Amino acid sequence: MLFQSKIFRGDRVIWMVLLLLSLLSLLIVYSSTGALAYRQASGNTMHFLVRQVFFLGAGLGLMLVMVNFLSVKIYSILANLLVYISIGLLLVSVAMKFMGLSSGSGRTLDLGIISFQPAELAKISLILFTAKVLGKYQKSKGDLKKAFLIIISHAAVVCGLIFVSDFSTSALLFATIFTMLFVGRVPLKFLFIVVGMGVGIIAFTYFLASQFPSAPARVHTVKGRIDRFINGDPNSEQGITQADYAKLAIYEGGIFGKGPGRSDVSNYMAAAYNDFIFAIIVEEYGLLAGIFVMFLYLIFFFRSVVIVRRATRTFPAFLVTGLTMMLVFQAMINIGVSSGVLPVTGQPLPWVSLGGTSLLFTSVAFGCILSVSYQNQINSEIQKPPIQVNMPDEDFEMNK
């Protein structure tokens, strides 16, 4: 049995969830990229499947390397550096966007050999950074206030830069940091201030758009989406929107689904393999399968809570909390958008949606969580971390 082998270290249940999601991913990506394959890969319907197999495989490999060879402490050491690299890259892509050097929405940075979205790196870096700062300042109220200020200032910069090209990722990351602050025992007073300011900013953006038609396009996108969500889509009477397609897919799926590869709606949707993949899962495998997929993410969340409980130190605990929140939030956004509970926005279903380098960043997140889990197992068995890094610890042991 695969799971008996020594290399799948860390929480076995999470590994199990990951493999189930991988399988689902391949099935759904294969059936929902038919139309895309005709557009981009001259009708080679295997193209995207092969690609997905490659990236899922590479991602799983990356996780195995992280679990087996990297100590959790390394992430703590790298956190500061990574956050500043991210800010730098985000600045570069924002600058390129305004100078008109990049094509598309300016989310992707092309480095010649590889192209990736700096926001992906920024998400993980900021979570690492937040976990580190939170872990370090836990002793007193003053400490926590200091932590809050450091984190919120960094988060504002990073999320602000991401906001320029991608509202929903920016919001997702900010929500993740916010819940980390909450879990990290930052006084509620501060959190309420943040919420108040957040509401203020959104309201400001909304009215900015209505008052100043010349405001940046993204501001209008945000306003439009809010309008549509509150008032209903004005187009829905005349034509069919993405959200309609998604609901149609869910409607057509019924309780048990149409069967693997039988999706019709995916042929008509622009982002069936990505932002609305959950709707296609329901179309092909039914409502029950949809609930099961949601359940898989909740199981993952539950196992993460177990890891946090067993963690001996604060940094790993906050790290797992942050990364888990990010992944689960992202999943819930995709599920919420697909089912029409949330306004339309583009977040992939982690580890299921068609992806390239973004899948590798997702696997880094899972890898970190599994590393912590593995370290917990070692700690409980031999009371001694297996891989020592000769640096003074900056965080605290939670038992003290």
Positions that interact with other proteins (CB under 8 A):
35, 38-39, 138, 179, 182-185, 234-235, 238-241, 244, 247-248, 250-255, 264-265, 267-268, 282, 287, 290-291, 294, 298, 301-302, 305, 308-309, 311, 314, 317-318, 321, 325, 328, 332, 335-336, 339-341, 396, 398-399
From the CB of 138, what's the least distance to other proteins, in Å? Answer: 6
The smaller minimum CB distance to other proteins, of residues 57 and 254, is found at: 254
For residues 232 and 224, give the distance between their C-alpha atoms in angstroms, rounded to a whole number.
11
Shortest Å, Cβ 239 to other proteins: 3
Looking from the CA of 258 toward its CB, the CA atoms found within 13 Å total: 20
Q: Which two tokens mark 90?
A: 């985000």
Q: For residues 109 and 336, give the distance between their C-alpha atoms in angstroms, rounded to a whole number.
A: 28
Shortest Cβ distance from residue 39 to other proteins (Å)? 7
Please name the residues in contact with 102: beta carbons below 8 A apart, sequence gap of 6 or more: 93, 96, 108, 109, 110
Minimum distance between the CB of residue 183 and other proteins, rounded to whole angstroms?
Answer: 5
For residue 49, give the H/E element and its range.
helix 46-69
C-beta of 265: minimal distance to other proteins in Å?
8
Residues 283, 257: contact at Cβ < 8 Å?
Answer: yes
Report how far residue 200's alpha carbon sits from residue 175's, in angstroms, rounded to the nearest whole number: 16
CA proximity to 52, closest of 362, 358, 356? 356
Residue 65 or residue 341: which is nearer to other proteins going by CB?
A: 341
Burial zone of 238 (CB within 10 Å; 0-12 exposed, 13-18 middle, 19+ buried): exposed
Q: State the nearest-atom distance from the C-beta of 38 to other proteins, in Å.
A: 5
In whole angstroms, how close is the CB of 273 to other proteins at the nearest point? 14
Q: Is 231 exposed, middle or buried (0-12, 13-18, 19+ CB in 10 A)?
A: exposed
User: Is the CB of 122 or the CB of 327 nearer to other proteins?
Assistant: 327
Nearer to other proteins among residue 89 and residue 332 (C-beta): 332
SS3 content of the chain, % helix, strand, coil (to 5): 70, 0, 25
